[in-house]
Amino acid sequence: MFDQIFGNVIQPMPCTVDVDTAGLRADNIPRHIAIIMDGNGRWAKAQGKVRTYGHKAGAETLKTIVRAANDLGVKIITAYAFSTENWKRPVTEIHFIMELLSRYLTNEIQDFHDNNVQVRFMGSREGLPGVICQKMDYATEVTKDNTGLILNLAINYGGRAEILHAVKGIAARIQDGSLSADAIDASVFEDNLYSRGLPDPDLLIRTGGDQRISNFLLWQIAYAEMWTTKVCWPDFTPAMLVEAIASFQKRERRFGGLIQK
């Protein structure tokens, strides 16, 4: 079915963007960009195609943007590929996204690896097909020593579920006596999040026109700068990534304090 509609070939990682020619300041590139890749279904519908066609195109766009971000000096991309709430979608769409993920994890890993990209995942394994979990483990293992951009894919992820998962982890340690309640601080809490070890996102990009967080990285985006566009994710380009970073570079980040003059 998948092959009949789309064929089995995913194109190699295309494109490159040079920070020197993009009009950006090399000393203020956001280290970590989080992306809500919204609008795939609408993009497909607008062309008279099935929604899943948009997801396939969106997966290609992610590859293009990862490559461009890497070239621009971004260190981490966290992309929202499947949320804990996406299980409410029609079963055919869920199956398609799982199949797409499965193929992505098979077909793209070598390309990411060749480009020194380290692939990681965040989210719950509960309810995910075993084959996807195996491929996630394989991708993590194969790329773990890569030193380029970290592509952190949020799969079966929800910010509230992540916080509950962290609370349960901490509660278990208090129960077994290895942690005292007084010792809980932000760093202990962050060690129990799926994003353990990663710095918080500096910039949150949302495509597709909506202006909401949709349960993404609730703890981590406390001080992220937001940039939204009406453009649907499959149409998002490296030039738009440059535009988002240029906007980020104009912002004054105070983290609740005052700017030193």
Distance spanning both ends of the chain, measured CA to CA: 61
Among 53, 104, 236, 248, which residue sits at the site for ligand FPP (rule: CB under 6 A)?
104
Closer of 191 and 210 to ligand FPP (Cβ): 210
Q: State yes or no: residue 40 binds ligand FPP (CB under 6 A).
A: yes
Task: Build a one-symbol-per-residue string for 174-213: x at contacts with ligand FPP by CB under 6 A, - elsewhere.
Answer: ----------------------------------x-----
- Minimum Å distance from CB 181 to ligand FPP? 38
Query: Does the active-site annotation cover 38?
Result: yes
Among 22, 24, 81, 109, which residue sits at the site for ligand FPP (rule: CB under 6 A)?
81
Pairing assessment for the beta strands 203-206 and 150-157 based on DSSP bridges: unpaired
10-29 positions binding ligand FPP, by CB under 6 A: none
**H helices within the chain, ranges in order?**
2-6, 40-46, 51-72, 91-107, 109-114, 130-143, 159-175, 186-191, 238-250
Please tell me the total number of residues recorded for the chain in this structure. 261
In what helix (H) or strand (E) does residue 236 lie, and over which residues does it extend? none
The torsion defined by the Cα of 20, 24, 30 and 33, in degrees rounded to 10, comes to: -90
Residues noted as catalytic = 38, 86
Contact positions vs ligand FPP (CB under 6 A):
37-42, 55, 58-59, 62, 81-82, 86, 97, 100-101, 104, 153, 208, 233
